[in-house]
């Protein structure tokens, strides 16, 4: 696959000695366009077609490769130019710009800190279902209480205390408030 990307005209990747394969400027543009399409599709499926957030990633993986830029523009217009997808990931603008954020992994919080969930990893539908079942979504405020004996993170939300298994902790990114 890498060789195929290097042979595109213009090439999407280049080999640099001691650095390995890197994206060219054209490759970076194509990657950001694909990310934009993917996240817009996820948002469209969730908001307009009623898909649950644990269902949209795989569908978007299939569709992101076949939509035109014009379709991406129209989807963005229908959605009101959203800034984030259902999982909280930033959607690049039409100019393929992204905002710089101060988000960091939940595991980096120290006891007593309060934060808001900004985004969650979307690769594992089971974790997304667990999060939804416990009302943990982007925008949820939480306070880190302690790490308990089995390695779970105890947090407090408006709904009370909750123990997060480590795979769930690893999927959450937050911002201090």
Dist CA 106 CA 46 (whole Å)? 25
Q: Where are the domains of the chain?
A: 2-79, 104-176
Specify the CATH number of the domain 2-79.
1.10.10.10
pLDDT tens, per residue, the chain with 177 residues: 666 776 677 877 787 778 788 888 999 999 999 999 999 999 999 999 999 999 999 999 999 999 999 999 999 999 999 999 999 999 999 999 988 899 999 999 999 999 999 999 999 999 999 999 999 999 999 999 999 988 899 999 999 999 999 999 999 999 999
Domain 104-176 classified CATH 2.30.30.90? yes
pTM: 0.88
Phi and psi, residue 8, nearest 5°: -60, 155
């Amino acid at each position: 696959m890498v060789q195929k990307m290097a042979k595109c005209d213009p090439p999407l990747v280049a080999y640099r000695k001691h650095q390995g394969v890197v994206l060219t400027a054209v490759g970076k543009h194509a990657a950001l366009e694909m990310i934009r399409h993917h996240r817009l599709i996820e948002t469209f499926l969730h908001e307009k077609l009623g898909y649950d957030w644990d269902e949209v990633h795989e569908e978007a993986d299939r569709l992101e490769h076949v939509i035109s830029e014009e379709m991406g523009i129209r989807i963005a217009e229908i959605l009101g130019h959203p800034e984030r997808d259902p999982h909280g990931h930033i959607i690049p603008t039409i100019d393929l710009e992204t905002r710089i954020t101060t988000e960091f992994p939940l595991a980096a919080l120290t006891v007593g800190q309060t934060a808001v969930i900004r985004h969650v990893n979307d690769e594992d539908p089971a974790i997304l279902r667990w999060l939804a079942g416990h009302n943990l979504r982007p925008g949820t405020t939480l306070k880190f209480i302690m790490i308990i004996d089995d390695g779970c993170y105890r947090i407090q939300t408006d709904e009370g205390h909750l123990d997060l298994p480590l795979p769930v902790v690893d999927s959450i990114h937050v911002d201090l408030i």
